[in-house]
Amino acid sequence: MPSRDEICSVIESYVKHLSNHEVDQLVSLFAADAVQHEPLGMNTYRGIEEIREFDTECAKVEFSVTRYSPITVFGRYAATQLRIQREGMREFLATDLFEFDDECRIVSLSVVIDIEAHADQAGSR
């Protein structure tokens, strides 16, 4: 099982590559049979090729991502909140829930997007 430090390092890389629109580097963090739910309950991408296609489309949109909360780790699971900023839109928060395999590759990613959750409201509800 990967260590907390290894998991945190992968999540930091994930945020960096996502924000920089570095699709190849982003996809390299996932296991070959990974599943990505984004947004959770609406769309599911299975395997590297579907995840790559989704991330390639996302990279066409100008946005930036920064980590908003600490990374919480329990065993092979982790979660963190991200702040998403996009030109012409109010920034919003998303919560990313990760599961890792023994090689510290992402095997499952569930993204809970809430465009009404804003950084300036943190802690108010």
Mean pLDDT for all residues in the chain? 93
Let me know: does 56 contact 45? Beta carbons within 8 Å.
no
Q: Which residues contact 120 (CB under 8 A, 6 or more apart)?
A: none
Looking at residue 25, which CATH number applies to its domain?
A: 3.10.450.50
In a domain, residue 12? The reply is: yes
* Number of domains making up the chain: 1
Give this prediction's pTM: 0.91
In a domain, residue 101? The reply is: yes
In a domain, residue 83? The reply is: yes
Domain that holds residue 9: 4-118
Taking residues 31-37, report their average pLDDT: 98
Let me know: does 81 contact 92? Beta carbons within 8 Å.
no
Please indicate whether residue 66 or residue 125 has the higher confidence score (pLDDT): 66
Let me know: does 30 contact 105? Beta carbons within 8 Å.
yes
In a domain, residue 91? The reply is: yes
In a domain, residue 110? The reply is: yes
pLDDT of 123 above 70: no
Work out the percent of the chain whose per-residue pLDDT is above 70: 94
In a domain, residue 124? The reply is: no
pLDDT digits (tens, 9 = 90+) for 88-119: 888 999 999 999 999 999 999 999 998 888 76
